[in-house]
């Protein structure tokens, strides 16, 4: 694409002024290095945008999945995406550890309160045969409601902090961060914070897994270590040495569930959000791609002479 085409795609009709930001405070050398394309795409990628200007429905769905999927996005994200491979690996590790923690916390909650996780809440009969009888237990309801909800909030929070666009290209404080001698530190502050948070989550998940393994291995009905005020770190380390691989069989089941959620449930539910059907195609948070397309058309309404060029084609 010629420089003229790039300029026409990034400016509004009737002038060469950027439609997004006032760049007068940005040093000339940085302005040349950070293209208008970056100032357009980086904030959208950080916000998990459903729509990029000029993209078709299929192109938008493909870029959304490739840029946001926890596993596929590690290798297939766009080159201008603020979250690089290393950051995505850290986020994925934190998500896995948090899932382990929240799953076993739900299990320990049933144990500590004396409730039965296997109690049937309701059942589904597809036909008269017993093989078609599906029982939904209290433990499963707890996991898919409270557990999944908290896990989703954690994932979105970690993503938002790590991909914070405030000091990046196209962000609100772009010029301030550029003029600062600690520019790179400001841009990567969210990443450092996420590394600390993930480390704490992994430590907590490790401790919870040890509790679960000890309870399953010894058939205990009381939570060890926590209820015993005389327990020391040495006692915990010594008990870990006595564990066998069979004591961690619940981790195998969780890994299978985690894989299914990533490659079956995630594409399905994200596609539902992408479609905008939950927000009747008009609500800001649930309107999906139709809402963003309508918002873009409203913004460009009345303008003429501006060529619509796919942002990804410019890359």
- Cα torsion for 52, 57, 61, 64, to the nearest 10°? 10
> Is this structure's pTM higher than 0.85?
no
Domain that holds residue 203: 83-212
Do residue 68 and residue 118 come from a single domain? Answer: no
Q: Which two tokens stand for residue 301?
A: 């309404």
Domain count, the chain: 2
Residue labelled with tokens 């990804």 = 312
Do residue 66 and residue 134 come from a single domain? Answer: no
- Separation of first and last alpha carbons in the chain: 9
What residues contact 170, with CB distance under 8 A and at least 6 apart?
20, 21, 38, 39, 40, 41, 42, 43
**Closest alpha carbon to 60 in 291, 299, 301, 304:** 291
Q: Which two tokens stand for residue 74?
A: 């590690």
Do residue 10 and residue 60 come from a single domain? Answer: yes
**Number of C-beta neighbours around residue 213 at 10 A:** 21
Does residue 52 fall inside a structural domain? yes
Q: How far apart are CA 89 and CA 101, in angstroms?
A: 18
Do residue 134 and residue 145 come from a single domain? Answer: yes
Do residue 179 and residue 108 come from a single domain? Answer: yes
Q: What is the gyration radius of the CA atoms in the chain, in angstroms?
A: 25
Do residue 164 and residue 278 come from a single domain? Answer: no
Does residue 217 fall inside a structural domain? no
Does residue 184 fall inside a structural domain? yes
Do residue 54 and residue 110 come from a single domain? Answer: no
Instruction: Single out the residue in 161, 195, 212 at which a domain terminates.
Output: 212
pLDDT in tens, the chain (315 residues): 444 444 444 433 444 444 444 444 444 444 445 677 888 888 899 889 999 988 999 999 999 999 999 999 999 999 989 899 999 999 999 999 999 999 989 888 888 788 888 888 877 776 655 566 777 888 888 888 888 889 989 998 998 888 876 656 555 555 544 444 545 556 677 788 899 999 999 999 998 888 888 877 666 666 666 666 666 667 667 677 667 777 788 888 888 889 988 999 899 999 999 999 998 988 888 899 999 999 988 888 866 555 555 555 555
Secondary structure of residue 305 in the 3-state scheme: coil
Distances 259 to 66, 96, 161 between C-alpha atoms, Å: 17, 10, 25
């Amino acid at each position: 694409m010629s420089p003229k085409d790039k300029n026409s795609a990034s400016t509004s009709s009737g002038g060469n002024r950027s439609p997004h930001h006032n760049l007068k405070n940005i040093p000339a050398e940085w302005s040349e290095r950070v293209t208008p394309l970056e100032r357009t795409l980086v904030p959208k990628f950080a916000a998990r945008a459903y729509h990029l200007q000029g993209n078709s429905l299929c192109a938008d769905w493909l870029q959304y999945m490739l840029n946001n999927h926890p596993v596929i996005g590690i290798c297939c994200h766009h080159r201008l995406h603020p979250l690089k491979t290393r950051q995505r690996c850290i986020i994925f590790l934190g998500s896995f550890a948090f899932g382990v923690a929240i799953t076993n916390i739900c299990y320990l909650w049933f144990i500590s309160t004396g409730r039965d996780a296997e109690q049937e809440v309701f059942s589904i009969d597809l036909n008269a045969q017993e093989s078609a009888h599906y029982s939904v237990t209290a433990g499963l309801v707890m996991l898919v409601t409270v557990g999944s909800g908290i896990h989703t909030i954690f994932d979105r929070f970690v993503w938002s902090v790590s991909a914070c666009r405030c000091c990046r290209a196209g962000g609100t404080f772009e010029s301030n961060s550029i003029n600062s001698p600690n520019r790179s530190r400001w841009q990567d502050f969210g990443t450092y914070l996420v590394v600390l948070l993930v480390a704490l989550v992994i430590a907590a998940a490790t401790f919870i897994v040890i509790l679960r393994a000890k309870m399953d291995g010894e058939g205990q009905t009381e939570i060890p270590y926590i209820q015993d005020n005389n327990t020391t770190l040495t006692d915990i380390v010594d008990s870990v040495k006595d564990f066998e691989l069979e004591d961690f069989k619940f981790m195998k089941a969780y890994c299978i569930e985690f894989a299914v959620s990533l490659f079956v449930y995630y594409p399905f539910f994200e596609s539902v959000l992408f479609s905008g059907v939950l927000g009747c195609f008009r609500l800001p948070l649930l309107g999906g791609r139709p809402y963003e397309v309508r918002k873009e058309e409203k913004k460009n309404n009345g303008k003429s002479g501006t060529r619509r060029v796919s942002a990804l084609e410019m890359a």
